[in-house]
Structure 1
Amino acid sequence: MSELANIPWSLVLPLLVLQLILMVVALVDLIRHQRTNGPFIMWIFIILLGNIIGSVLYFVFGRKQA
């Protein structure tokens, strides 16, 4: 339990907030448009399990251009 006391939370907390915001925005965009490059359910798993990288991958490769 002493390992948690040694974590620099002032550096980690902004990354966690950024990850949460990106994940929520990507999921909302995915649900609103439902037109993706690839299976819809696959992008849900990539966003949820891929952390920051999963959300970025969705915005770069997953969104279908109008």
Structure 2
Amino acid sequence: MLVDMLPFLIPVFLIEIALLIFALIDLFKREHIDNNTRIIWAVVIILFGIIGPVIYFIFGRKENPVDID
């Protein structure tokens, strides 16, 4: 039965890994995020599987804050 599902599971697994990698790269490239928030987002991205990166891209990926002087 598992062999029958492989054509479906392999692309899903690859998409999950790609989302995980892209989310972590994006998270660690953003300079305006403090370290505590970054660690929390990294845990969410890694532990929640395919949902974690989606949550990060929807809620955690804000533009750089504007400094008003």
Normalising by the smaller structure, the TM-score range is: 0.7 to 0.9
**Percent of matched pairs sharing the same residue:** 33
1:59 aligns with 2:53: no
Correspondence list, 1:32-43, <5 A:
32-36=29-33, 39-43=37-41
Does the CA-based 8 Å contact 1:35-1:64 persist in structure 2? no
Deviations 1:10-66 (A, max 9, x none): 111100000000000000000111434x81111000000111110000000001223
Structure 1 outlier segments of 4+, above 4 Å: none
Q: TM-score, normalised by structure 1?
A: 0.82
Distance in 2 separating the partners of 1:49 and 1:43: 10
Match of 1:20 among 3, 17, 21: 17
Q: What are structure 2's unaligned runs of at least 5 residues? A: 65-69
Q: TM-score, normalised by structure 2?
A: 0.78
Q: What are structure 1's unaligned runs of at least 5 residues? A: 1-5
